[in-house]
């Protein structure tokens, strides 16, 4: 079956613009995570969705970042008024539930000029 997909694979934007990143999890996976990986750094947790429960947004670095998920399907991560420090690879992962192996998407490489 299909794995986790993300789009776009690459995004170059100008400072101050808004961007929207999309994640399609594996069908049936109730848990969905967003992570950020800056160049040369480890993965940072951004946000967690579990079914219809309220998401854990504690990892979002500022109020310019927001994320939504429709039920147990697609999720979008939106960054408003992008800054150069937002440049990173944004990774999405899904799992059957929080207690199971996570499957990662290929990531979106965001470059803010």
Partner 1 sequence: KNEVEQSPQNLTAQEGEFITINCSYSVGISALHWLQQHPGGGIVSLFMLSSGKKKHGRLIATINIQEKHSSLHITASHPRDSAVYICAVRSRSGGSNYKLTFGKGTLLTVNP
Contact present, 9 and 105 (Cβ < 8 Å): no
Task: Compute the half-sphere exposure of residue 60: CA atoms within 13 Å on the CB side of its CA.
Answer: 17
Positions that interact with partner 1 (CB under 8 A): 31, 33, 37, 41-45, 48, 50, 56, 58-59, 89, 91, 93, 98-104, 106-107, 109
52 prior amide bond cis, ω within 30: no
**What are the two backbone dihedrals, phi and then psi, of residue 108, each rounded to the nearest 5 degrees?**
-120, 120
Closest CB 23 distance from partner 1, rounded Å: 14
Contact present, 95 and 4 (Cβ < 8 Å): no
- Identify which of residues 13 and 104 has a Cβ nearer to partner 1 in the complex: 104
- Identify which of residues 88 and 112 has a Cβ nearer to partner 1 in the complex: 88
Closest CB 81 distance from partner 1, rounded Å: 26
- Identify which of residues 14 and 99 has a Cβ nearer to partner 1 in the complex: 99
């Amino acid at each position: 079956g299909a794995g986790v997909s993300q789009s776009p694979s690459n995004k170059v934007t100008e400072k101050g613009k808004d961007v929207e990143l999309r994640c399609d999890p594996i069908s049936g996976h109730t848990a969905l995570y967003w992570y950020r990986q800056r160049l040369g750094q480890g993965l940072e947790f951004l946000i967690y969705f579990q079914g219809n429960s309220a998401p854990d947004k504690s990892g979002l670095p500022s109020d310019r970042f927001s994320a939504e998920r429709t039920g147990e399907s697609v999720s979008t991560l939106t960054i408003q008024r992008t800054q150069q420090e937002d440049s990173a690879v944004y990774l999405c992962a899904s799992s059957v539930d929080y207690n199971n192996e996570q499957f990662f998407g290929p990531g979106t490489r965001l470059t803010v000029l």
